Amino acid sequence: MPQSETLRLEIHVRPSASTTVVAGEHGGALVVRVIEPADEGRATEAALKAVAKALGLPRRSVSLVRGATSRRKLIEVEVRTSGTDAVEDTLMDLRGR
């Protein structure tokens, strides 16, 4: 079984956007714009899917730690140890650094 590592990161969700996109930074958090409204957890689920897709990971690799009803959320990303550097590089690109 491959070894994995868990990365924690804060995201800032902007619901009801014109398109779904993961890019930029707001107060140190990765910005995730989603089409879905902030209604019954739809924006949160869409944000988790968008982050997984942007990082090239399956949705099951991304989970919510806290912030279900807040725009600011803490998430965990489970990554194979061999892919950690690639995910961290992608995060830097998404943040615009």
The 3-state DSSP class for residue 17 equals coil
Q: For residue range 66-83, what is the model confidence (pLDDT) as tens digits?
A: 999 999 999 999 999 888
The domain 4-95 having CATH identifier 3.30.1200.10: the answer here is yes
Spatial contact of 64 and 75, defined as CB atoms under 8 Å apart? yes
Backbone angles phi, psi at 38, to 5 degrees: -80, 75
**Torsion angle of C-alpha atoms 30, 33, 37, 38, degrees rounded to 10:** 10
Residue 9 CB neighbours (<10 A):
19
Q: For residue range 20-53, what is the model confidence (pLDDT) as tens digits?
A: 999 999 999 999 999 999 999 999 999 999 999 9
Query: Kind and range of the H or E element at 78?
Result: strand 72-80
Where are the domains positioned within the chain? 4-95
